[in-house]
Chain A
Amino acid sequence: MRLADDEKAMRDGAEGPAVAAAMDLLIRYGEALGAERLCDTRNVAGTMTQPSPIKATLVREGGWNKAFATINLDSDEEFDIPHMRVPTCQLQHGFSDDALGVAPYPASMVELQADAESFYGAHGVNILATCTPYQVGNLPVRGEHCAWMESSAVVYANSVLGARTNCEGGASTGAASLTGKIPCWGNHLSENRYGTHLIESAVPVEGSLDWGMFGYFVGDIVQENRPVLVGDLRQPDLTDLKHFGAATASSGGVELYHIPGITPEAPTPEAAFGGRPAPEKIVYGEPERRAVHETLNNQGESEDVDFILLGCPHASLDQVARVARALDGRRLNPGTELWIMLPRALRVVAERNGYTESIRRAGGRVLTDSCPAMSRSAPEGTRVFATDSAKQAHYLPAILGIEAWFGTLEDCVDAAVTGKWRGELQ
């Protein structure tokens, strides 16, 4: 890998030992990928504050400096961590104090995380604490080189925004935050951004339930490739594509897709394939749609639902408003809990609009920062849960050993009120 002069200087210690360790990690990582060079980035989304048993031990031994050096720079050396060199944000992490007494989650972890926030906040990490940084203050522009983690955010940034990021990890984002560099490989290069598969929907795809199911189908078919989607696709909004991308990155590992006429790098199907001939199309029809719905619902037997989870990926304001309206004047079934997860910055607006009060009055909980899958925590005694998220329906049954139902946001709210799952595919 060729290094620029400023990169060599960082490696050789001109900016101090922490930056040198960061550059050493980027060189090891870039060589492993076979990258030819690094590129500049001023947009990092990683994870530093998420608590874990290992982190607790490292902090006891050597404070947050040691935790960052070990985990986020993969270094065994001891040094002080300088201020972040480029804008850096924290993605979703563990539950925060708003979940104390609600989620069975250790208070010691909440405290550890609060301590981390003080340290990293003072070092310039913006604590967005969400899997949807693009909703609350980190909206990259087309062509911007980023170093992001979180598969649902990566696919949104590449596809919907036309930014350029690979699916990074804790050490590469940590190293990028102190150097403003990341290997120029994969999605950073134009030749790797054209479509590889053509998928046509023969059924109307409209609303986040159908966009989520279509995404689950697409991810399963293409795995880590780059699908181009055509057919009867109705105009999606942020919520629809948030659910679509998260689903493609759950059943598969999609990091970039194109919807000609909708997403920025594909004004036409021809442009999506970079002028090369399109591959033979794969059709998504009513049988495929029903099969996806069946797959996501074959993890449930009991119709007695004791937990509803909304806001995966973290809810948009529109979704919070819809939940508030659907719950208006109703009460949750005793024995059924409803949580909606959203970025804390949006909760401020939701409170201002009275949405959170409507949800709380009905007995629901408005929570931030995390989700049951991240924190491995659902209401005590949960056996059966329901969600409007293909991603959460994919992961949570395996993580917590519970049954799952998947349906519309309104199906989920009805189940919260009646305690019974009645959702059916229309």
Chain B
Amino acid sequence: MTGPSPIDDKRLRFDNFGDNDLFSKKPRLPAMGWNSWNAFGSGNTEELTKAMIMKIKELELDKLGYTYVVLDDGCYRPGRVNGHLQADDVKFPSGFKAMADLVHTQGLKFGMYNDIGTKLCSGAEVGIYGFEKTDCEDYIKWEIDFIKVDNCYYMWDNATFANPENAKYSYAPNIKSIAVGGRIYDAAEAVITGTRASVKDGYVTSIGTFDGTAPDHSPSGLRSSELIFDVEAAEDGMEDMHVTYATGAEEGVGQWLQIAAEDNIIFDSLLPATGSPEDFETSQSIPVNLKKGINKIRIMNHRRQENTLHSYTEIRRELENAGDRDIVFSICEWGKTQPQNWGHKVGDSWRILNDITFQVGSDGDHGTASWESDYTTSITSQYNKAVIMDKYAGLGKGWNDPDMLVIGMNGIDMTMYLSHMAMWCMMNSPLMLGLDLRRVNKGDDIYNIISNKELIALDQDPLGVQAKRIFSTAGSSEPDKEYIRDNKRIDILAKPLANGDIALGFFNLDQVIRDDDISTDIDTILKALDNKAVSTDALKKAASFMVKDLITGVVYETPERTFNSGTLAACGCKVIRISPVT
């Protein structure tokens, strides 16, 4: 393991992230099912999984769309046997194929878990790195329908449990200048794209990509920085270029440098290490082919994103051998490498942050979740980021994944459960139940929330357009783009639906009752949706509207073109479906 693979396929390059050209992807709606992690953590077993399958059938959750049964971390023997994965013989004594068969005989779909690194997050030494072909052959033999792939112990980034010094692959060195054609160009005078890099003491640092694992950074806009020099050449021809640089192995300063002349990459490798991040040296000669006139020389490192995409692509490529078997590919790199930029090329969904809870349950303990936290571990932390990521999601692209549902866990109440469900449905998030289903009975409060057909229909609406935030009482001028983390507010989300209706959600994120009674009107909604509504004309010309409250079930017709939130309970919501009456 000497370093990340060369990237010979241009489709994996940053410049081509926008192209959807790697695989022939089936347009699919967000996956729905049950995942073992939030319910049982590493303590999931065959017996527990069987009990969940039986409850899915008893509650008829499969008829509502919850069809995937996914075994998360903790299910494998922690070492390979003759190079192959094997089930933990105490937890899953019958093995994975038997588990898959059981799931399939119940008309459900079977999901598993792995990791692009050398180990799983649990520490089990069965990460898929180097075993992509073998493992995917086994997964196909086991007839999986879904795979979630994590990012611990990753070799080429400072991911969880990876060597922190792997950051050397993720960032360019600090750059003081380049010399080309007999002229020196100061980095401090060059153009910096994006907001990640900055000038410090006469050099440029942090040339690379924001780490999106924690909730600190917005997902909007350019999430990486390059340093661009305008190099003038008197005539066409080769020149020697030298870079004055200083290396590190930490977030913000690395050792891997990419250089492109316009869009041609001319260097993509580690530079020799310097004494410290402020100990500058001059590189060996790097030949560059210049054209007469101004040449844009790009100093960059997009490897954080490119390496991760490459690793997921290696797996996806092997899964293509499944033939007609349709396998959902769930990317779980926690938003670290801004997967909203590249996830659509390879995956069906991509996690946007670290976990929604770190206090998962076990048999007899529901685990604990939160409405609000200063890290990723809450419903609102996940929502606040996902709600401004609608432009990245869609049919044929994939879905933003704000993590599995925490409905049923301790620490949050029924109002929060309901808003959580409604948020996830409005945002076209995968709906993975994460509770011990043995506590649920038909008709009880939790059942009524997770089985709300009207909300699920929003998530699974065939138009496949994630709701857009069109207003926030936080006062944003760009509510669909601005990253708002202060939860003392109400948001309005609008979502166009395939039959021409509009779903409208009012979400009180505040932990106190709010009687603001905010409103929006049909013209504002249509303008904000920017022609994504199917029946814009019908909505504009409607003489009245049928309005259905998707939580209370109340239906009424109104000539009013304005829709109000009314009083919202603490952490409460109101979600309505608006149909034009012509």
- A and B associate: no
Chain B interface residues (CB < 8 Å from chain A): none
